[in-house]
Chain A
Amino acid sequence: MKFKFWIAYRLLFSRQILFGGSAPLAFASLVLGVAALVASMAVMSGYVETLKSAMTDVTGDIQVVRRGRLVDDWAQFSKKLRTTEPRIQALARFGYAESILAHKGQVSGVLFQGVELLDLKKVLNLEKRIKSGALTLNEEQIVIGLGLAKKFNIQVGEKIFIVVPLATPFDSSGFRRQSKEFTVTGILDFGKNEWNERLILGDLKSLQGLTEIGDRYTGAFIKLLDRNDSTAAVTNLMDQLGAGYSVMDWYEVNRNLFEAVSIERAVIFIVVLLIVIVAAFNISSTLYVFIRQKYSDIAILKALGLSRKKIRTIFLGQGLIVGALGTGLGFFLGYLLCVGFMYLQNHFALISGSVYKIDKIQTQIRWLDLSVIGFSTIVICLIATYSPAVKGSELEVVEGLKNG
């Protein structure tokens, strides 16, 4: 077998092949196809991973919310959750209210989320999302999203007003307002565009004071011992807590989006794979021409004792070498494309946050993607070279010697 690969290698890397005709172009198109596959899959994987990371950093592995009314007793509720689901590592309660942010004559609707910072830090990964300032909260302090800070040109240390509209119990057509001035202590990149432009984190007591709900709250963020158990934990919690609670993990919160991305990934893979298939056909036609030019060599190899089957293996070996080299170089070029994409993304606004929910993504080259791309490319190259290989092996020695 070694010998057949040696022959395949020596014939393939001749000056005639490397520097002449259509072979280098056919090979280049294969490399480009593989690189395009690697880059597109890396961007898709990176998009999912970035979104997933944002979800788990900002909302935890699982979110439990009481439907229709607020939860009263945190000690009792947290104990119930821990008893129901032993895979829980940490819990943090939260409450939220639709509010209005007012700053220097401008106003905007925001979601004011009240949390207990000590508990929250055990559940969410917000520290790494700080862009300026610090994640410190007391009843006079808040942190805001990056988008909001840009929109209102708010700097750390500045004061803003939060206004909460409250229903009047005896007049369904009216409402009254509660407002409070806060100091912005930190600006965070929450990951998702809509969060960056709408989410404000404050102390739970501030929220409870503004909304006049006493010690009640909306629900809890949960961190699991292993994030991969989230689906099973959600099912368990839903069964045990009943219909009065909404239980969602990071996937469930954006199920439609993740399913769409998954379908898009498959479609993009097939479409870009067409480039590889077309390139493989180019290689096939190049190999036909190559075999025509090598009639004499094939004939002499047969005269020296190579059987048809072995000749076929030599040409299939060439397909394998081309496929493997194309895959390797394509991987490298794909990696460079990813690096280039990240560079451009850092210098220009490539992604519209309002369309894709996030305005910056990581590229993620996964072993699974590389394996599928590499396997597909090599199989396609082998299929493309099979027909010329058979033609080469069927050549009559006498014909080859005459035409050589």
Chain B
Amino acid sequence: MNRYCKAALTGMLLLSMLGTAGCGSGSQTPAHTITVICKSQDSYWDATKLGAQDAGEEMNLNVIYEAPEREDSAEQYRMISEAISAGTDAIVLAPVEPDAFNDVLQQATAAGIPVLTIDSDVSYADRASCISTQNVSAAAIAGRYAVSLLEDGDTVGIISHAVSSQTAQERTSGFIGEVMGTSSNTPGDAPKEGGDAPQPQEGEGGGEAQPEGGDQPAEGGGENADQPADGSLPIPDAPAARALPEGSASGFKLLQPVDCGGDTVVSRDSAMQMIRDNPDLDLIYATNQPGTAGVCEAVATMIADGEIEAGQIKVVGFDYFGDSYGTNAYTYVTSGVLNGVIAQNPYNMGYLGVRYAEKLVNSEDVAATVDTGAALITADNINDDDIQWLVDPTHK
């Protein structure tokens, strides 16, 4: 009897303790699986991955993150196809090309799997939502900032990364629109690839009317698609696009954009050549991360070499960068070489991509397009908490 009593009482105590002390955070089985496929394993996408994983953790989702080693549409196609076969509940895709996935995305839709895009869009009509930086808007921010740095008659150069790329076109047109005072682009007006994006060409006395016309460059396989094999400066064939707007209110002189294929070295060399060829050059705008890094390196080198004075050439860039380019953007900004750089919000793309995917799985409505915005980072705000978090989301 005593033995049974002890056993029973011990059982009660343990049961009671379990009920009171335990009951900790019981991990629940993830409700849904969300597959996130990014463009490459470049460090830029680390923030997107982190955002997607944070959303998965917060919403109890199984987030599968995948990305090709390098931007590769075939590899992305395979990943999408495998995700559909594996029975994923939703796909969040950062497409390297807008038209390469229509058939496989059609399969996803047929299987009841919602598809969202992040960073850039696809031409597939039934994608549920696109969460990205509106490149035209972001470039317009850069343009407005450039204007604030310029005086009438100043000369502006553009280091582009691929004239055939929709991204490059939007970032160029958005910038030029603001600088030349003709911006009418709003997020809803962003031109689609293959549309008539402005393609200014070099011309003395900016604002001079040029005939519009010429073939739109063929689409490439990503931002670096048209990089020349021989390393020469890939100046686009003129006339490549319609002329700079006539009657620019600014009176700024705009040089023909130089396509550097998204290569840092080419961008650096092109910027140096541009500065040497145009003694009156006042500002260079770079349309992507390698271009910005290359321009900064060129300006810093020429200042160091005494070719130009500090502050003579102002630089406005796109996409903040870390130590992978030797000198990071923080150093260039705080030293005055890089006056301002546009930073996208890849973390929010990943986070909102997964968040919206879960909403779609639960048959909730989501916006067809979401502009995650862009921040202009300058020496004035680079140490602010929100900017520090933006450039390094792992910074708590």
Say whether A associates with B: no
- A residues whose Cβ falls under 8 Å from a Cβ of B: none
